[in-house]
Amino acid sequence: MQTWLWATVDRIESGENGQEFAVLVFDEGPELVVPRSLLPWLRRGMVLRVTFERDEAVERARRAEIAQRQQELFGREGA
């Protein structure tokens, strides 16, 4: 299943370390801050269709990695 939302590039900001961020404002109001290095072509005022997809393979891999780290740290899962 795929879901998408509309967002507008509200502004480009610079962080303390000089890295630039794009601030996206969704039609529903919330904001999302994205490193500009991921989308260097963004410009203020652009309208984007933002897509969200579940990646079950990556989810399983991350859960397995967390379980392994818990095992290493605590000797059992979920401690």
pLDDT at 52: 86
pLDDT of 3 reads 78
Q: Is the predicted pLDDT of residue 74 greater than 70, yes or no? A: yes
Amino acid identity of 37?
A: S
Which residue has tokens 């939302």? Answer: 5
Q: Where are the domains of the chain?
A: 2-74
Choosing among 2.40.50, 1.10.10, 2.60.40, 1.10.3430, the CATH entry for 2-74 is 2.40.50
Structure confidence by residue, pLDDT tens digits, 18-67: 999 999 999 988 999 999 999 999 999 999 999 988 899 999 999 999 99
Predicted confidence band of residue 6 (pLDDT cuts 50, 70, 90): very high
Residue 2's pLDDT is 63
Instruction: Give the strand order in the sheet containing 31-35.
Output: 31-35, 20-26, 2-14, 47-53
Dump the DSSP string for 19-49: -EEEEEEETTS-EEEEEGGG-TT--TT-EEE
Q: What pLDDT is attached to residue 79?
A: 47
